[in-house]
Amino acid sequence: MQATPKVHPNLWTPRSGLELMNNDLPSTNLEDSMSCFDFSKNDSCLISATGGMISIFDMKTFKTMKKVMPPPPAATCLAFHPRDDSIVAIGMDNSTIVTYNLHSDEVTRKLEGHAKRVTSLAFSNTLNIYVWGATYWNELHLVAINKTHLAVYEVKERACV
């Protein structure tokens, strides 16, 4: 069994008879879609997408709790907020990042300006490092990015955090 960019991962039904967790698949070629998933902080939920709607699964029952945000654009990466499982950051194929509230079923923030689709997202466990739009910049930190590195600097000290 393998999982590569060309071979999408599958969850097989165990002998106990639990159900499969299936993503909505796009009507287009699977080669053009990205599979992505993340577990909630207490591992009770899994959020997953493969080019179609984003699915939220209950990990105790393997049942789909809800499906949200039909494409386009498709989700390319997902990250649960480390302290609030109702908030998810979603990287999109159209190069935007949105924060989505699963309880209210609404986009709470949209960040634009990336040149290509977003392929990775992560929250800081201490919540002291953020990615932001220029409109919301707190002028305390600066993010420097190149092809191989990402650095966060304190503006006043000009020191890498």
Least confident of 55-69, 76-90, 123-137, 139-153: 123-137
CB 68 within 8 A of CB 49: no
Residue ranges of domains in the chain: 1-126, 128-161
The token pair that represents 143 in the structure block: 């993010």
pLDDT reported for residue 34:
74
* Dist CA 55 CA 35 (whole Å): 12
pLDDT reported for residue 133:
47
Q: What is the mean pLDDT of the chain?
A: 75
Of residues 100, 36, 116, the one with CA closest to residue 68: 100
Residue 88 has pLDDT above 70, yes or no: yes
Instruction: Tell me the per-residue pLDDT of 135-146, one tens digit each, with 9 for 90 and over.
Output: 455 556 666 655
The CA-atom distances, in angstroms, between 115 and each of 3, 56, 82, 92, 118 are 28, 28, 27, 12, 9
Name the residue with tokens 């919301």.
136
* Residue 47 CB neighbour total at 10 angstroms: 24
Instruction: Tell me the per-residue pLDDT of 9-34, one tens digit each, with 9 for 90 and over.
Output: 666 555 555 555 666 665 555 566 67
Of residues 73, 104, 103, the one with CA closest to residue 90: 73
Q: pLDDT-derived band of residue 134, with 50, 70 and 90 as boundaries?
A: very low
Residue 106 has pLDDT above 90, yes or no: yes
Least confident of 2-11, 102-111, 115-124: 2-11
The CATH class of the 1-126 domain is mainly beta
pLDDT reported for residue 1:
46
* Dist CA 61 CA 56 (whole Å): 12
Residue, of 88 and 72, whose pLDDT is higher: 88
Q: What is the mean pLDDT of residues 6-10?
A: 66
pTM: 0.66
